[in-house]
Amino acid sequence: MADLEWMAWTTGTAVFVGLVVVGLASLALLAAVRPSTPRKGFLPVPTARGDRIYISLLGTGLILIVVLAATSFALTTGLVFAAIWAGAVLRWG
């Protein structure tokens, strides 16, 4: 059998995946206690709580890819931009 290539789990990767898992579990618990109703914010469609989290995660990934690929900024700068985006979507999206 050929050698298998395994993903290298760095500390940053493990923390990120852990935060996503904790966030999804928290979302499930929150949905059981207080169901979400869609609302209209600055996004062009009405979104529920889970939709805004999903959109913020997609946007965060895109921001980090653009910062790494198209600029010479440090990754921490991209994380700041991504955190601002995620906060805005979660609060006002």
| 48 within a domain of the structure (yes/no) | yes
| 7 within a domain of the structure (yes/no) | no
| 72 within a domain of the structure (yes/no) | yes
| 41 within a domain of the structure (yes/no) | yes
pLDDT surpassing 80 at residue 5: no
Between CA 27 and CA 45 the distance in angstroms is 20
SS (H, E, C) the chain: CCCCCCCCCCHHHHHHHHHHHHHHHHHHHHHHHCCCCCECCCCCCCECHHHHHHHHHHHHHHHHHHHHHHCCCCHHHHHHHHHHHHHHHHHHC
| 4 within a domain of the structure (yes/no) | no
The model's pLDDT over 9-55, given as tens digits with 9 standing for 90+, comes to: 888 888 989 988 998 899 889 889 998 888 898 888 899 888 898 89
Q: How many domains does the chain have?
A: 1
pLDDT for the residue numbered 73 = 80
pLDDT surpassing 70 at residue 60: yes
| 44 within a domain of the structure (yes/no) | yes
Indicate the pTM of the whole model.
0.70
Domain that holds residue 26: 13-92
